[in-house]
Amino acid sequence: MNIISAFTTPIWESTHSDFSEHQQNFIDCVKTAETNNPNPEQKFFHNGYQSPRNILQHQEPLFPLFDYAIQTAEKATIDLSFVPSRCFISSAWVNIAKSKSAVLFNTTQRDTFTGLVFLKAPPESGKLFISNPGTNTSWQGNALIEYKNKFNSEKMHIQPAEGQLFVFPSYLSYGIEPNNHDEETICVVMSIIAIPEEAWNEQQNS
């Protein structure tokens, strides 16, 4: 008997080759944003700091990071067989997880992709989790599941590493589990929009 996987959800993962060279500049930039915007957004973040969602995308020290995320997203448009497209970051913010803090389920589905990069992730930092869009909580079979596997898990878990970039379709919900340490875990989140290259060129020439 064969098992046919009906659909797949891609997640693109990579690490900027020069991340270590820029890492401290990246961290200094987002910590300055925290200092200048001390009142955290609390809708999706429990016991941590989340900056306003529109304050980082124009920060020049983060441009090498954003350029790399855009390159990755444009590679994703090819893998997804989009029409020739260009990508840009519509908003970017930082999540700083303190001791026992957690990012609750979040989504940026009004855009095309979500990008996350971990600037600081000490050992035993909380895992990134991404929801499985193929599960249905009302399915009667859930009550019969003895153990989780790739077909029935509600979410997948990824242990983050510093410099690690993830780009995935923005309809996926994601979160970050609590840390098992007392240090900070710092993650920059990006909302990425893809538009047809023809429209992009018209905007650039207008």
User: According to DSSP H, which parts of the chain are helical?
Assistant: 19-36, 63-79, 197-205
pLDDT one-digit tens code per residue, 105-119: 566 667 899 999 999
Mean pLDDT of 39-68: 82
Tell me the pLDDT of the chain averaged across its residues. Answer: 87
Mean pLDDT of 39-63: 80
206 in a structural domain: no
Pairing of strands 128-131, 113-120: unpaired
DSSP one-letter code for 177: P
State the total domains in the chain: 1
141 in a structural domain: no
91 in a structural domain: yes
204 in a structural domain: no
What is the extent of the structural domain holding 168? 12-133+148-198
Residue of higher predicted confidence among 6 and 108: 6
Confidence (pTM): 0.89
Give CA–CA dist 147/144, Å, rounded.
9
5 in a structural domain: no
